[in-house]
Amino acid sequence: MDTQRLVLFLALSLVILLLWEAWGQRNNPVPAPLATTSSSVLGDAPQTPGESLVQISPADDKPVSPASTSDTPADPSARIQAGLVSKQRVRIVTDIYNIDIETQGADVRSAFLTKFPINLDEPDIYYPLLDDALPQLFIAQTGLLSSSVAPDHHAVFQTEKPEYKMLDGEDSLVVPFVWTSPEGIKVTKVFTFKRNDYLISVDHIVENSSNSEWKGRLYRQLQRNQFEEPGKSRLLYTFTGGAVSSVEKPYQKITFEEMADWKADQSYTKGGWAAMLQHYFVTAWIPPKDEANHYYTRVLKDDRYILGLTSGEQTVAPGEKFNFSSKLYVGPKEQSRLEKVEENMNLTVDYGILHFLAQPLFWVLEFFHKYLGNWGWSIIFLTLLIKLVFYKLSEASYKSMANMRALAPKFQSIRDRYGDDRQRMSQATMELYKKEKVNPLSGCWPMLVQIPVFISLYWMILESVEIRQAPFMLWIQDLSAKDPYYVLPLIMGASMFLQQKLSANPSMDPMQQKILQFMPIIFTAFFMLFPAGLVLYWVVNNILSIMQQWYIMNKIEKAAKKA
């Protein structure tokens, strides 16, 4: 296989890879919205088996506690659902959130990220990471399980105000919800929000004023359906589903299809986290590091999926209290934040099998951005650095190409002599390679090196929320979206065509030449759908390659003429 055949093979392989990803996303349609007769919130939805934490009596529709704590399942979603009812919404406004918490269960029913508009054209329409307005369902729930009395996510809490707002100059906002029982058990669920922090503290403070000890456990769970993410292109596939982390398995993804029968490897494990992932954002429950938890998943009807964890049992003696503490992360997959939240949380930024290559590239890109303040210029400088790193390798390849072009008259002579006998023509060509000490495969190294780098950059730019809606200059105002006027893809196609002319192999047969001529057209069509940041990298890389290739080949050809 000569150089051009290998280049053609690699180029077609890349096209097939990109076609496969586009096909996979296009043929993985978003399920139909939940059936509903109005635009009301999920609180008006009918009862659905599988979600409640305690059994429901058909007679009075009230929770019936199990006989003892030992009979309480570790998986609270295994009970029968009473339905998510809306009693009263409490609005929380901070510098980064507009959040609604429902008094029934004190569930987080919506969370709009005010620093992240859905699109640049409508900056006041914020991204709804959590929401229970159909057809989208994505909420964060907690509750307590006990053999006596405890508030699950159907219990109604009380709060002092219908709205809490973080004022200018305040660094934190505390929002308490209180539940009490006639037996003397009081539970205060406290949400603590901090300025410019997507990590929310959620405490369940159990105070036992009864005459007997109280035993119970805490569950935390995320519930959602498969909905189309706002502003996401269906042509670009990214993982949406669950993920868990533990000491045994630092990062394990769970698809929605797997949630029906997924089982944790062990009944209880310390630390870790459970999350639901989507393109640029993540929502995760994070228990204390020293707390043992049981992880579980369930699939309910109406396209509803649950991922959660249940703590071990705690005992609260009369006159004492105990705090079940938790952290809830609701925000972007910014790596600088995730690294501080919890161990292995940065793995939710999924760069695929080339993570080991994409991650260092992002670190370098982030370093340039620190000083340049523009992600577009950072991509350009990253491209320059990559070209410098592989300069010697490219130089050797371009020298090989120049030597091949210098042999063009001899290749033509062989073609004229053995044009009708392909076997003898191949033998004569190989003898010429051997005689002139030319290795036709050495010209393939730039392509071999660029393909994994290209794929790594593709996933890095596609997955990094830091580049989402990041402007470059002129008409490029979002590097994570396609070029609105297709200028960069056309420049890329033209530069690719020019590269082909510079590296034309005189030994290649006419059919291969015709096939290669279509490659710039095919790549241009694909790159019209790709993020502008990725196309920017490819354009700069092509221009630098053309300059380097022209300089080296021109230098060698001049030296050959003098000789």
Q: What is the pLDDT of residues 466-484, one digit of tens each?
A: 988 889 988 999 898 888 8
* Token pair in block for residue 177: 């919800």
CA distances from 208 to 3, 48, 148, 222 (A): 78, 33, 12, 28
Phi, psi of 143 (to 5 degrees): -175, 170
Three-state DSSP at 67 gives coil
* CA distance linking residue 10 with residue 333, whole number of Å: 33
Evaluate whether 383 touches 544 at the Cβ level (below 8 Å): yes
Of 541, 536, 534, the closest CA to residue 21 belongs to: 534
For residues 8 and 329, the model is more confident at 329
Alpha-helix residue ranges (DSSP H) falling in 390-509: 391-406, 408-418, 422-436, 445-463, 487-502
Strand partners, 272: none
Q: What angle do CA 87, 89, 95 make, to 5 degrees?
A: 165
* Token pair in block for residue 181: 């029982």
Lowest mean pLDDT across 33-37, 127-131, 341-345, 349-353:
33-37
Residue 148: band (very low, low, confident or very high) from pLDDT cuts 50, 70, 90: confident
Evaluate whether 138 touches 130 at the Cβ level (below 8 Å): yes
Q: What mean pLDDT comes out for the span 309-334?
A: 94
Predicted local confidence at residue 248, as pLDDT: 81
CATH classification code of 41-74+89-350: 2.70.98.90
For the stretch 400-428, what's the b/e string if a residue is b when 16 or more beta carbons lie within 10 angstroms of its beta carbon?
Answer: bbbbbbbbeebbeebbeebeeeeeebeeb
Express each pLDDT in 17-55 by its tens digit.
Answer: 544 444 444 444 433 333 332 323 333 332 332 333 332
* Token pair in block for residue 305: 């999926």
Please determine, for residue 563, whether its predicted confidence score (pLDDT) is greater than 70.
no
What is the widest separation between alpha-carbon atoms in the chain?
A: 106
* Token pair in block for residue 380: 């350009």
Of 268, 369, 259, 337, the closest CA to residue 305 belongs to: 259
- The domains of the chain are located at 41-74+89-350, 357-396+445-562
Predicted local confidence at residue 320, as pLDDT: 93
* CA distance linking residue 251 with residue 347, whole number of Å: 7
Please determine, for residue 80, whether its predicted confidence score (pLDDT) is greater than 50.
no
Express each pLDDT in 409-419 by its tens digit.
Answer: 676 677 767 76
* Token pair in block for residue 158: 């009380």
Q: What mean pLDDT comes out for the span 378-383?
A: 93
* CA distance linking residue 109 with residue 97, whole number of Å: 13
Lowest mean pLDDT across 27-41, 136-150, 175-189:
27-41
Please determine, for residue 76, whether its predicted confidence score (pLDDT) is greater than 80.
no
Express each pLDDT in 350-366 by its tens digit.
Answer: 888 888 888 999 999 99
* CA distance linking residue 12 with residue 10, whole number of Å: 5
Evaluate whether 253 touches 243 at the Cβ level (below 8 Å): yes
Predicted local confidence at residue 37, as pLDDT: 29
For residues 268 and 42, the model is more confident at 268
Residue 505: band (very low, low, confident or very high) from pLDDT cuts 50, 70, 90: low
Alpha-helix residue ranges (DSSP H) falling in 185-328: none
Please determine, for residue 513, whether its predicted confidence score (pLDDT) is greater than 60.
yes
For residues 551 and 331, the model is more confident at 331
Sign of the dihedral through C-alpha 489, 493, 496, 498: negative
Evaluate whether 271 touches 247 at the Cβ level (below 8 Å): yes
Of 542, 539, 541, 528, the closest CA to residue 483 belongs to: 528
> Has this prediction a pTM greater than 0.75?
yes
Residue 503: band (very low, low, confident or very high) from pLDDT cuts 50, 70, 90: low
Predicted local confidence at residue 277, as pLDDT: 93
Could you give the dihedral angle defined by the CA atoms of residues 98, 103, 106 and 108, in that order, rounded to the nearest 10 degrees? Answer: -30
* CA distance linking residue 179 with residue 307, whole number of Å: 25
Helix (H) or strand (E) holding 111: strand 107-117
Evaluate whether 316 touches 208 at the Cβ level (below 8 Å): yes
Predicted local confidence at residue 519, as pLDDT: 79
Predicted local confidence at residue 518, as pLDDT: 76
* Token pair in block for residue 357: 């290559």
* Token pair in block for residue 555: 């230098």
Q: Which of 26-40, 44-58, 252-266, 325-339 has the highest mean pLDDT?
A: 325-339
- Mean pLDDT of all residues belonging to the chain: 78
Of 530, 452, 539, 458, the closest CA to residue 493 belongs to: 539
Please determine, for residue 275, whether its predicted confidence score (pLDDT) is greater than 90.
yes
Of 235, 242, 244, the closest CA to residue 266 belongs to: 244
Q: What mean pLDDT comes out for the span 333-339?
A: 91
Please determine, for residue 230, whether its predicted confidence score (pLDDT) is greater than 80.
no
Please determine, for residue 536, whether its predicted confidence score (pLDDT) is greater than 60.
yes
Q: What mean pLDDT comes out for the span 496-515?
A: 66
Evaluate whether 82 touches 52 at the Cβ level (below 8 Å): yes
- For tokens 């669950």, name the residue: 242
CA distances from 77 to 50, 52, 246, 301, 322 (A): 6, 6, 21, 13, 24
Residue 514: band (very low, low, confident or very high) from pLDDT cuts 50, 70, 90: low
Please determine, for residue 537, whether its predicted confidence score (pLDDT) is greater than 50.
yes
* Token pair in block for residue 61: 């529709």
For residues 251 and 3, the model is more confident at 251
Q: What mean pLDDT comes out for the span 219-243?
A: 81
Under 8 Å CB-to-CB from 530, ≥6 apart: which residues?
458, 482, 489
